[in-house]
Chains A and B, each alone.
Chain A
Amino acid sequence: MSLAAIASKVGAGEPLSLADGLALFQHPNLVEVGALANQVRERLHGSRTYFNRNLHINPTNVCVSACKLCSFSRRSAHDAGAFVLGIDEAVGKLRARLAAGDRVTEVHIVGGLHDGLPFAYFTGLLLALKAVAPGIAIKAFSAVEIFFFHRLYGMSIEEVLRRLQSAGLDSLPGGGAEILSPRVRKAICPNKCEADEWLEVHRTAHRLGMKSNCTMLFGTVETLAERAEHLLRLRDLQAETGGFLAFIPLPFHPENNALGDKRVPTAAESLRTLAVARLLLDNVPHIKAYWVSLGLATAQTGLWFGADDFDGTVSEEKIYHQAGAQTPQALAPGEIARIIRAAGRIPVERDTFYGLASPVAGEEAV
């Protein structure tokens, strides 16, 4: 499939095929692929680049899943470095940010699969956070965690989601998708939920009126075809539900985990993945260049390769940093806006649902 043929499909707004996706991954000229993705990005969002003020909370790093790709988890609560965050501690982190005058609009919560915590811990956490800041959006628990709750507590997926929703859950993060292929999951995360189960959690969440994100962990053992298939599975679910807000490609970081002989995907691969995702996922509104995982310079460049979202201020990122990420653990909103402007884009501060968090005067945001 030639790039010109793909470009004419993109121009006409036709969805791309698996073969197109593969051709885009393999095309020798990264910049032409980027230019095509940029065309779509600008058609959808102009020069606007979204970010938010968020806080990351990891309730626990104890995890029964023991995925080879992970540098964050501890097998047992008794292992060195294992922790469970008390609800007060978690709330304390949010209070501290608010007390410092930081208008955080979103709490992002993901953690390990701890089999010794009561469900009430999670609902309690949500309720306590909402009590401190009723207007805040809580984006919490990846599909992997939701599925684990379903098994551990003997509730249906829907029941788990309903109960969390009534305690304050607003949306799901996109993590744990890795590559939605049985072969790859068996190799890198055999104890995690299956690809279909991951999709089912998001389908259910969308049906209950929640939005969610989706991700792809690339650079472990998957083939380019498996990457393209992964993106198309996400696109199919999106066609069914319309519930995905953003797609976030996550390059694999190899330090401190059992897949350590792998190299980090090059920034060029990250740029290409952003671009191909923008082109294949024509029904997902936003593509995020998550600066924590990509690195600032690559994320910034990614704003010309299909990405329209830079993620947020992210204080206290742990998971990627355990795996060797060299990025800072937090950025001030002004700093993010400056980085976005330096790339020749217009920063726009958003809330979780891509509403404007602060009024935008014309095109000169923030």
Chain B
Amino acid sequence: MKVRRLRLSAVSFLNTRPITYGIERGLVGQGRFDIQFDFPSRCAAAVESGEVDLGLMPIASYATAGEELRIVPGIAIASRGPVRTVLLLGEVPWEEMETIVLDEASRTSQVLVRLLSRERGVLPRYEPAEHDRIPQLVGGRRGGLLIGDLCFSASEHFAHVYDLGAEWTERVGLPSVNAAWIGRPDALAPGDVALLQESLALGLDHREEIARTWAEENRIEAEVCVRYLTQNIHYELGASELCGAAAFIERGYAAGLFGAKPALRFYAREARPRPPMVRAPRSLDGLLSDAAAGGRLSFDEGVRLHESASLYDLGRAADARRKSLHPHGVVTYIIDRNVNYTDACTTACQFCNFHRPPGDSRVHTLTCDELAVKLQETVDLGGIQVLLQGGINPELGLDYFEDLFRFMKANFPLAIHGLSPEEIRQLAERENLPIPAVLERLVAAGLDSVPGGGAEILDDEIRRRISPRKCSVAIWLEVMRQAHRIGLRTTATMVFGFGEQAAHLVGHLDKLRALQDETAGFTAFICWSFQAEGTKLPLRGDTSATRYLRNLALARLYLDNFPNVQVSWVTMGPAIGQVGLRFGGNDFGSAMIEENVVAQAGAVFKLSAAEIEGYVRRAGFTPRRRNMRYEWL
């Protein structure tokens, strides 16, 4: 059977050319693609009308599409600071603009300028205008939104120039995502995603060539174009970008600019087995400095660092890596409440101090009234989220959680970060439903994100020893994979101190990194040492604070695709938390209102938001509140 050619609409600006490089030149998928170039607004219309199968569509159009669409994983047009080609121009400052003319070529940027104006307390009139005419229309108290290559020449002619990419990131702490490959769910055939990614990979390698050719053809300064493609525009749709896009949709929805807030859903990514990394052996110093610069460590190199690098060398490299990912010196934290809805649990893990067997007369499952009190307290204390976890109580079915989530969402403005993979797996088994179906129903009822608990050490041999009834490594990862596919963000954890070897720890990190390559759905990594029960001496050979700092630093270096690493003051104490901020951590976790599970095993640290801010400041950082997306609030 002859496969129909895939019709693509791509943006006609310079910034798309690395994405289309391989396709345009026939280097990938020969004969598979037909490509046309349009303004962003036209790309969206072409997808919506069915004129093309896939468009480099503005994120704003994804939000307003009114039908279910899918995003190609891994590819975006985004910025992590100044974007250079989304500008608000004016003869007067933003605050004094009475009218802003909006570039008709844009979609996302129109929403961006409206959102950012509101943030500044500015409410101008908006008037659409043709792309080419924007520079002429700006004058007096009329500002203009301009996108695309015209920005290169236009910006120097105005007294006030605002780069909306920079404005967004400074405010939100996340990248600005302008566009991605988007189409209908059935638009792609197997292999297409890989071809699109290959086209970009080739383009990334030829950015300088693309920029210079473009500069010559369009009479723009070559260096400006090179800088633009190599520094301003980022092409990765990674975990931070997904959070940035989700924050954009959420804010647009809250401002009434979108009628819905669709989750970010993706075409399946065919697992492309990466060739095993074969490298000439590097010195320990070389390994550390490469990893500090964001280079990828192989499994063997991770083990070597774990075994041989000194504490401070690991710490310095991790600190450098943290600094390049979070250059603003901000350390985030969240105000949330940990609610354990039931202490009944069938898994009876050896390291747990919290559970009771189902049927035990002391079992307690929270009632709605009890929960309501806790939730109201949470709201009153400035909390924005509930971390909802329990034991595995076979008496609680999917309908219990659907009712619970609906009750919570109907009555409290709190995000639900709930149900670890083990709990979701148990629900799937109990209800005899596939995992994605369970997740879909939970999301429909109000689930916002999934905590990464229960990972312990992702090694089946160790799991059989310490938590034989908990899910296997494969299932833990599969629940996370499915959650990411339907647009849920999740975290990932690691608990060490079970007598594991370096290979187990690095293996754990390696599995998380591989899944993150596939889905980009993890927002953060958190590790802590096993909290031994009731003993006077919780120090085992491998749970010391120095071991914690080493593991934290190694994780920051190994997990090159994880945007955030939390320190765990709840288990390690606030001082080690502070020290951890120099060993790779960039987040101080949560001002926890309640933590039953760890408290039962002896960790009793409790901090208010003010105390957390004090610790963060004294460690030399600026504290900022965040939500689960790591969006600054």
Contacts and interface: CB of A to CB of B under 8 A. Distances in A.
A31 B315 contact: yes
Interface string B540-584: 111111110100000000000000000000001111101100110
Nearest to B619: A30
Given A29-B620, A30-B619, A268-B575, A297 B539 contact: yes
A270 B618 CA distance: 13
B496 to A, nearest CB: 13
B319 interface: yes
A34 B575 CA distance: 14
Interface string A315-345: 0000000000000100000010011011110
B135 to A, nearest CB: 45
A297 B539 CA distance: 8
B312 A35 contact: yes
A271 B311 CA distance: 15
A271 B546 contact: no
Interface string B599-621: 00000000000000001001110
B544 A297 contact: yes
Chain B residues touching A, majority SS: helix
B575 A338 contact: no
Contacts of A310: none
Interface in B527-549: 536-537, 539-547, 549
A267 B312 contact: no
B481 to A, nearest CB: 36
B316 interface: yes
A274 to B, nearest CB: 12
B540 A28 contact: no
Contacts of B311: 304, 344
A38 B545 CA distance: 16
A297 to B, nearest CB: 5
B316 A35 contact: yes
Interface string A33-75: 0110010000000000000000000000000000000000000
A301 B542 CA distance: 13
A266 interface: yes
Interface string A279-317: 000000000000000001110110110000000000000
Given A35-B316, A339-B539, A267 B576 contact: yes
B544 A342 contact: yes
- B536, B575, B578, B615: residue with the most chain A Cβ atoms closer than 10 Å: B575
Contact of B573 (A29, A267, A304, A343): A267
A300 B545 contact: yes
B574 A301 contact: no
Nearest to B544: A342
Contacts of B619: 28, 30, 268
Nearest to A295: B573
Contact of A266 (B545, B572, B574): B574
B500 to A, nearest CB: 15
- B536, B543, B573: residue with the most chain A Cβ atoms closer than 10 Å: B573
Contact of B546 (A28, A266, A335, A344): A344
A300 B541 CA distance: 12
A271 B578 CA distance: 11
A335 B578 contact: no
Interface string B306-318: 0000011001100
A149 B319 CA distance: 53
A270 B542 CA distance: 23
A123 B37 CA distance: 99
Contact of A300 (B539, B578, B583): B539
Contacts of B573: 267, 297
Contact of B583 (A31, A266, A267, A271): A31
Nearest to B543: A342
A266 B576 CA distance: 10
A266 to B, nearest CB: 5
Interface string A12-41: 000000000000000011111011001000
Contact of A297 (B315, B576, B583): B576
A38 B310 CA distance: 11
A343 B578 contact: no
Contact of A342 (B312, B547, B572): B547
A301 B546 contact: yes
Contact of A29 (B549, B575, B582): B582
Interface in A60-109: none
A31 B574 CA distance: 15
A32 B581 CA distance: 12
Contacts of B618: 266, 268
B584 to A, nearest CB: 11
A315 to B, nearest CB: 14
Contacts of B549: 301
25 contacts: A28-B619, A29-B582, A30-B579, A30-B619, A35-B316, A266-B578, A266-B615, A266-B618, A267-B574, A267-B575, A267-B576, A268-B575, A296-B539, A297-B544, A297-B573, A298-B575, A300-B545, A301-B549, A304-B311, A304-B546, A328-B537, A335-B537, A342-B543, A342-B546, A343-B546
CB-CB nearest 5 A-B residue pairs = A28-B620, A267-B575, A31-B582, A268-B575, A342-B544
Interface of A: 28-32, 34-35, 38, 266-268, 270-271, 296-298, 300-301, 303-304, 328, 335, 338-339, 341-344
